[in-house]
Structure 1
């Protein structure tokens, strides 16, 4: 087989046509194509810059949002702690008031019982005194019916007075 070798004339004409095409393309096609590529490269670069800026802004907003959530949690915990403390204090105050009231009621009841007891004892003493006087009166009448018994009783009282 024989190698296919192009002729010198063909190579020259192909080179001339290639160079002409290159010049025409360089003048009319390359500049608009390069201009379009440059514009596209700039728009992509701007879009990437905007995306990076938006990502940084999003990270900043996420950090700010996390800080706000943290503050809200802390505030919630503080409010709950305050409410629990107030509830505990209110409960303790109510218990103290109830204890004071119960103590006062017990004290009043004890005072009333003591007063009733003293009144009952005084009445019993009065009753005993009245009964004692009545019994003594009946005994003295019976014993003093004869004169000899009267004299002995007087002597006994006189002796008691001297001894005391």
Structure 2
């Protein structure tokens, strides 16, 4: 440092100062405006990029909100459809059960009617057989009892007495 102080020359300092001032003036005249314009353009580009990013962020948030709303609507619609499907299923099951009960009751009533008609037919058949057997037995008894003349007369007498009594 001492060497610099000892070698100091006022003329050299003066010319260096003039060159520095001229250089600064030239830089101001020719380079300052383009540099400042580039810096301003750069600032505007950065500001525009920040604004675009902010808009994109807002749009993304809006899209996410829309997606969430659409998803919630879809879930609600799905739940409503599932509820409706369950109700339809329950109604169909209840209708089928009621129809099956009605058909079952109808079949039971038909079976009862068939049983009663067959029972009545069997009773009629049984009565016919009993009456036929009764007539046969009575016929055989009468044949055996009325085989002699005296038994016939006694029977006639007996019947006449019963007729008079009644």
Q: TM-score, normalised by structure 2?
A: 0.83
Which of 3, 24, 27 matches 1:25? Answer: 27
Q: List runs of 5+ in structure 1 lacking aligned partners.
A: none
- Of the structure 1 ranges 130-139 and 65-74, higher mean CA displacement relative to structure 2 is found in 130-139
Q: Distance in 2 between matches of 1:153 and 1:11?
A: 184
Which of 154, 157, 164 matches 1:151? Answer: 157
Deviation at 1:34, TM superposition (A): 0.5
Q: Distance in 2 between matches of 1:27 and 1:148?
A: 175
Q: Distance in 2 between matches of 1:125 and 1:25?
A: 144
Write the mapping of 1:5-84 to structure 2, written as runs, cut at 5 A.
5=5, 6-84=8-86
Q: List runs of 5+ in structure 2 lacking aligned partners.
A: none
Instruction: Identify the residue that residue 94 of structure 2 maps to in structure 1.
Output: 92
Question: Secondary structure at the residue paired with 1:3?
Answer: helix
Q: Distance in 1 between matches of 2:160 and 2:10?
A: 188
Q: Distance in 1 between matches of 2:2 and 2:28?
A: 39
Question: Secondary structure at the residue paired with 1:4?
Answer: helix
Q: TM-score, normalised by structure 1?
A: 0.84
Instruction: Identify the residue that residue 118 of structure 1 maps to in structure 2.
Output: 120
Q: Distance in 2 between matches of 1:4 and 1:28?
A: 34
Instruction: Identify the residue that residue 3 of structure 2 maps to in structure 1.
Output: 3
Deviation at 1:8, TM superposition (A): 2.3
Shift in alpha-carbon separation, 1:141–1:150, aligned structure 2, 3 A: farther
How much is the aligned-residue C-alpha RMSD, in angstroms?
2.2
Aligned length: 160
Question: Secondary structure at the residue paired with 2:4?
Answer: coil
- Of the structure 1 ranges 39-48 and 3-12, higher mean CA displacement relative to structure 2 is found in 3-12
Which of 101, 104, 111 matches 1:102? Answer: 104
Deviation at 1:148, TM superposition (A): 3.2
Which of 135, 153, 160 matches 1:133? Answer: 135
Q: Distance in 2 between matches of 1:149 and 1:80?
A: 93
- Of the structure 1 ranges 127-136 and 60-69, higher mean CA displacement relative to structure 2 is found in 127-136
Deviation at 1:95, TM superposition (A): 2.4
